[in-house]
């Protein structure tokens, strides 16, 4: 199979099309797809907020998942106010059911996570956080992802701006399409 430019193995989040899923990704198979939903956020230094989110876990036949997340702040009726956080990266499962995750943020920091795949649950903790001189001070994160009743649920605790790990984000996303 080729993509529109003629290059082989297009990336897909739909397991019914594109290249075969690499066998090392079988532990993350339930996460592959396009997910949308809403969540709640807050932190000691900011006002609580509601957001909408789209998350895409896709693959191109190689032994990693491409990951992209986009969020929008929403009002009480669920209408978008403005774009919010974005992140892109790669999830790299290992033979022992561990996983390495690399995430980059346009606000000037990059995170390297290590964690475990446990059935329909993935738990991640930062191994390293690197930031530019102008980025917000983020020193650590902890993430918990799970497939619950067919939905993708997650929670993020963040250590930033002088605070220890503190609940920051949580969301429930529904699978869209394939």
Residue 59 is labelled as binding a ligand? no
pLDDT tens track for 138-154: 999 999 999 999 999 99
Distance of CA 54 to the CA centre of its chain: 9
The DSSP secondary structure of 74-131, one letter per residue, reads: E-TTS-EEEEEEEEEEEEEE-TTSEEEEEEEETTTEEEEEEEEEETTEEEEEEEEEEE
Residues 6+ away with beta carbon under 8 Å from 83: 70, 71, 72, 73
Residue 168 is labelled as binding a ligand? yes
Which residues does residue 110 pair with via DSSP β-bridges, in sequence order? 104, 130
Which pLDDT belongs to residue 1? 46
* Matching residue, tokens 């209408």: 79
Domain parsing of the chain, residue ranges? 23-177
23-177 under CATH 2.40.128.20, yes or no: yes
pLDDT for residue 178 is more than 70: no
pLDDT tens track for 36-69: 999 999 999 999 999 999 999 999 999 999 999 9
Reported pTM: 0.91
């Amino acid at each position: 199979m080729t993509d529109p430019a003629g290059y082989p193995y297009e990336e897909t989040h739909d397991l019914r099309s594109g290249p075969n899923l690499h066998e090392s990704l079988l532990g993350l198979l339930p996460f592959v797809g396009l997910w949308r939903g809403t969540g709640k956020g807050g932190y000691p230094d900011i006002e609580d907020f509601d957001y909408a989110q789209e998350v895409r876990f896709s693959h191109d036949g190689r032994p990693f998942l491409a990951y992209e997340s986009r969020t929008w702040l929403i009002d009480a009726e669920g209408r978008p106010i403005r774009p919010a956080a974005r992140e892109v990266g790669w999830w790299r499962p290992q033979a022992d059911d561990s996983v390495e995750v690399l995430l980059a943020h346009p606000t000037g920091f990059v995170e390297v996570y290590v964690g475990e795949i446990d059935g329909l649950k993935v738990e991640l903790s930062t191994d390293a956080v690197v930031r530019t001189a102008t980025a917000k001070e983020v020193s650590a994160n902890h993430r918990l992802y799970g497939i619950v009743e067919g939905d993708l649920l997650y929670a993020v605790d963040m250590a930033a701006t002088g605070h220890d790990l503190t609940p920051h984000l949580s969301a429930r996303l529904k699978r869209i399409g394939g």
